[in-house]
Every structure is written in structure tokens, then in C-alpha cells.
């Protein structure tokens, strides 16, 4: 049996920091970093539980690969949205409401909309 207090404690710290980052920050990029910290805490727990159980199919490792894949796709989509919002508004602050409705510009017309 492997002693797993260290990985469990580290996963709890990562999850706590990630949750704080999601709840306390107003910048969209910092919120995404907080979400990634929570997902990495889940990955650490999955690998730790898989190592302690001695599972011959390594279910914890397989689930970790799925979480990493989903997290990568989530980051790509979220950063694309953040970049589009930054190009339109000039900021990615989540606490600032949109003052006027934004029309749907074509990708090449973003510079024309801002001027």
C-alpha cells in the first residue's frame, strides 16, 4: 500500500487555489487558469487513487487522459472567445457589463468596427 497523504493534500491545495481563482478574479484569463488548477487537482486525485488501488486496467490513468483532452479543448475554445471579446471591447474584465449591444462582425471587419 502506498502512502498517499502528500498527493491528496496537494490536490486539495490545488483545488482550493483554483476555486479561489475562479471566485475572486474578474479577468477572464485568470478565471481560466483557476479552472485549469481545479482540473489538475482532479487529475492528481485520479492518478493517486489509481496507484493506490493496484488496478490492472489503470482506470485512473485513462480517466486522467480524458480529463487532459477535455481540458485542452476547453482552453482552446475559451481563449478563442476571450480573444474575440478582447478585440471587440479592448478588455476582458468579467465584472464590467456590456454597455451597448455588439453587432456580429465578420472576422476581417473587426478593425473597421472598432474605428
pLDDT tens, position by position, for the chain (115 residues)? Answer: 567 788 899 999 999 999 999 999 888 889 999 999 999 999 998 888 887 776 666 777 888 889 899 999 999 999 998 888 888 877 788 777 666 655 665 565 555 555 5
User: Distances in Å between the alpha carbon of 16 and those of 13, 88, 97?
Assistant: 5, 33, 28
- CA dist 9 and 44 (Å) reads 10
- CA dist 85 and 55 (Å) reads 45
pTM for the full predicted model: 0.73
CB 45 within 8 A of CB 1: no
Domain locations in the chain as residue ranges: 5-114
Instruction: Give the pLDDT of residue 102.
Output: 57
- CA dist 105 and 11 (Å) reads 42
| CATH 1.10.287.3510 corresponds to the domain 5-114 | yes
Amino acid at each position: 500500500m502506498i502512502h498517499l497523504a502528500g498527493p491528496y493534500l496537494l490536490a486539495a491545495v490545488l483545488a482550493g487555489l483554483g476555486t479561489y481563482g475562479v471566485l475572486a478574479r474578474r479577468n477572464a484569463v485568470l478565471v481560466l487558469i483557476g479552472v485549469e488548477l481545479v482540473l489538475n487537482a482532479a487529475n492528481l486525485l485520479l492518478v493517486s487513487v489509481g496507484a493506490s488501488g493496484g488496478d490492472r486496467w489503470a482506470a485512473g490513468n485513462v480517466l486522467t487522459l480524458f480529463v487532459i483532452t477535455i481540458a485542452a479543448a476547453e482552453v482552446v475554445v475559451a481563449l478563442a472567445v476571450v480573444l474575440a471579446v478582447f478585440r471587440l471591447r479592448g478588455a476582458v474584465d468579467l465584472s464590467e457589463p456590456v454597455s451597448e449591444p455588439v453587432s456580429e462582425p465578420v472576422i476581417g471587419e473587426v478593425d473597421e468596427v472598432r474605428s
